[in-house]
């Protein structure tokens, strides 16, 4: 979850730095942003993962399933 959120944040910053070229397929920045967004969905949305992680101390589990 942490890695996907950092990837989204950094790819958005790269798109801001590149301006209009960040949205162009000629540059790799557009692909990085697209991949970062998909990474946050792949293993479950980050909102659901936050809920699962938050429940672990309550349930008394030490390992996240």
The answer to whether 18 and 29 have CB atoms below 8 angstroms apart is yes
Residue from 5, 26, 30, 43 carrying the catalytic annotation:
43
Can you tell me whether residue 62 is helix, strand or coil?
coil
Q: Specify burial of residue 14 (Cβ count, 10 A radius: 0-12, 13-18, 19+).
A: middle
Q: Is 30 a catalytic residue?
A: no
**Residues forming the active site:** 43
């Amino acid at each position: 979850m942490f890695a996907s959120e950092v990837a989204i944040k950094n790819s958005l910053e790269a798109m801001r730095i590149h301006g209009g070229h960040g949205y162009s397929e000629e540059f790799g920045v557009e692909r990085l942003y697209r991949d970062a967004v998909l990474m946050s969905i792949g293993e479950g949305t980050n909102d659901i993962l936050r809920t699962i992680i938050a429940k672990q101390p309550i349930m008394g589990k030490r390992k996240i399933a």
